[in-house]
Structure 1
Amino acid sequence: MATQMQAVVVPKVNAPWELQNVDRPEAGPNQVLVRVHACAICGTDVWMANGTLSFREFPLVLGHEGVGEVVAVGAGVTQRAVGDRVGLPMVQKRCGRCDFCREQHPNSFVTAANCAAPILTGVNVDGAHAEYIVADVDGTVLLPDGVSYELAAPTLCAGFTVWAGLRRAEVKPSGRVAVVGIGGLGHLAIQYATAAGYHVTAVTHSPDKEDLARQLGADKVVADGAGLKAAGGADLIMYTGSNHAALASAMDGLRPWGKVVMMGIATDELTLPALPLVSNSHQIIGSAHNGYEYLVEALDFVARGAVKPMIELFPKDRVAEAYDRVANGDVRFKAVVTY
């Protein structure tokens, strides 16, 4: 096997993404070496590339929506074998020693935020925008046979996020779900909620997305919270936006005892009127990547064809173009780079 590979390197803040020749990693104890077939670009990647989020020094190799084939296993690995098709989600390994880890929580974003020294794929260690990647064996998930690499990739973060949020909300089977924002997360949230059997209302200010929302499975499409209320309201609002400006309006359509699940990452402040929040016993829940069992379920929906991420494919030599288009909001809805 060659000792070098090509990887996508972000040399400095706001720099173009570059395809470079670098040393190929080797699988150590309890690790697997994966030949990457595809990796999607997440909004978090954009924020790390432009310096909004910072977890280590540049240069960076990003990517936490990677999928591929195991080509080598390190000492002590029994859970995976050469030839296994796997996904590589962000939370790869917890430290296992800190106070948080002693409580034995499942790997999730809460682990990433609270473990003293987590290993986070594409965040504080090299990610999957490369031909090969090494990962702790427990930081991989088996892909179902029926899912392609290209459709599995965005499910590793975007699909995982929305399905885990819907599961955490524990909406009753007869409940009504509203999805605010139709983008990388929202277009999947509509599909997952529909596949789970809920009545789904899409909330969007973009007229050009109304027909798309219906094609994705939405029963109704409205522009704001007043429209949501008139359409029957919602027991759950899945809020997928990258800012919080539309949330207060959307909550005008939230039923008594209703819940809001916040899934989109944003840097602006969240301000809500207290009286209706308290009077209606509303709940605001933050949620992302709530345990790998939900990722397995999310992948199964895609494998069965019940959910289909909308993707644009880019070969690795066009990765700079892919990044620019994601950063400018010009991809509908997930850019997937093949390696």
Structure 2
Amino acid sequence: MKAIVMTGANEPWQVREVATPAAEPGQVLVKVHASGMCYTDVWATQGAGGDIYPQTPGHEVVGEIVEVGAGVHGREVGDRVGTTWVQQACGRCDYCRRYRPLTGQTAMNCAAPRTTGFSAQGGHAEYIAIAAGGTVLLPDGLDYVDAAPMMCAGYTTWSGLRDAGLQPGEKVAVIGIGGLGHMALQLAKASGFETVAITHSPDKRDLAKELGADHVVADGEELAELGGVDVLLVTTNAFDAAEAAMAGLRPDGRVVLSGLDFTRPFSLSSEGVPFPMMRQRVIGSTHGGQQYLGEVLDFAAKGKVKPITETFTLDRATEAYDRLSTGKMRFRGVFTPHLA
């Protein structure tokens, strides 16, 4: 089969002919119809995931089951399925033996999880073997290209909104109107919350309104002038802008960190009213469990959230990586391995 391969830290992606995997016991073999690109693919290529080379990246994977391994129940040939970053936990480490969730992002606390595109082959390929328990069934009628970004970007932002514990009448702001944030705006609005977009980009202001923002502001100062918000959902790795936006967070407000920055920590300002007196909270949130993934897939199937995507064949891997790594990708890139 054809697959994109990372060959070493900071080395360009290569398209290679590699052996098609088989469905081992407990696994299913999936014909990949769409595989979304995440900035985590860039970090893996730069070496943040350790020495995992050679490896195929991609953890927003959807397709059709073409083979079922021994011992698999609940999955059949022909099923439309998807998988995410973490397919499976080891079941034996201290975390797992406390009966923590064994699938979903929470399993990243496992000592040896099966991670798509890291410890196991990723989805930027024509076929992928996946732990059957790490798959979810896709809703009927949901297009594969629209489904792929739900496996991480949609899953992450919806988990952030759920983890924030939003209450009726509260207001939410999204900072970082990119691959994650453009879906967060749609999800917040679809859930009935007054929604604010925070962006410095003039070209995103009108689009933010179209995606569901009731208001668009440039920074925390303008957010405060608007009356502030109860939840600040951070979907960017630009933590300096997110820290400044806290000027518009109300007392008892929550900052939800869904963006990742491996180069610096998130910091609390020492200016103004001391943080403890504001009774605010900082919540780390990525993938909250397959129940949240099921919910966001339902939103997508009903047309309440739709990713803005660019599609690429595998042969355009170099172009796709360049656009992703330089921030030129228009919200979400998706490989379509079986399209000419």
TM interval, shorter chain, is: over 0.9
2:322 is matched with 324
Match of 2:125 among 126, 130, 150: 130
1:136-171, Cα deviation, whole Å (9 max, x unpaired)? 100111100121100111110000000011011111
- Contact (CA 8 Å) 1:56, 1:124: kept in 2 or not? no
1:288 aligns with 2:283: no
1:115 is matched with 110
- Contact (CA 8 Å) 1:146, 1:304: kept in 2 or not? no
SS in 1 for 2:267: coil
1:145 aligns with 2:140: yes
Match of 1:236 among 226, 231, 245: 231
Match of 1:38 among 30, 34, 38: 34
Match of 1:300 among 298, 301, 308: 298
Amino acid of the residue matched to residue 228 of structure 1?
A: L
1:170 is matched with 165
- In the alignment, the residues of structure 1 paired with residue 210 and residue 274 of structure 2 have an alpha-carbon distance, to the nearest angstrom, of 33
**Map of 1:1-339 to 2, 5 A cutoff?**
5-51=1-47, 53-106=48-101, 107-112=103-108, 114-267=109-262, 268-274=264-270, 275-339=273-337
Matched residues, percent identical?
51
Amino acid of the residue matched to residue 316 of structure 1?
A: L
1:59-91, Cα deviation, whole Å (9 max, x unpaired)? 121110010000000111111000000001111
1:203-236, Cα deviation, whole Å (9 max, x unpaired)? 1111111111101110000011111111121110
- In the alignment, the residues of structure 2 paired with residue 119 and residue 284 of structure 1 have an alpha-carbon distance, to the nearest angstrom, of 28
Q: CA deviation at 1:243?
A: 2.5
TM-score (norm 2): 0.96
- In the alignment, the residues of structure 1 paired with residue 205 and residue 92 of structure 2 have an alpha-carbon distance, to the nearest angstrom, of 49
- In the alignment, the residues of structure 2 paired with residue 242 and residue 41 of structure 1 have an alpha-carbon distance, to the nearest angstrom, of 16
Amino acid of the residue matched to residue 7 of structure 2?
A: P
RMSD: 1.1
Amino acid of the residue matched to residue 134 of structure 2?
A: G
Shifted more, 314-323 versus 215-224: the winner is 314-323
1:291-315, Cα deviation, whole Å (9 max, x unpaired)? 0110111111111111010100111
Amino acid of the residue matched to residue 214 of structure 1?
A: K
SS in 2 for 1:28: coil
Structure 2 unmatched ranges of 5 or more: none
TM-score (norm 1): 0.96
Q: CA deviation at 1:109?
A: 2.8
- In the alignment, the residues of structure 1 paired with residue 8 and residue 171 of structure 2 have an alpha-carbon distance, to the nearest angstrom, of 45
- In the alignment, the residues of structure 1 paired with residue 60 and residue 88 of structure 2 have an alpha-carbon distance, to the nearest angstrom, of 16
- Contact (CA 8 Å) 2:52, 2:118: kept in 1 or not? no
How many residues of Structure 1 are paired with residues of Structure 2 in the alignment? 333
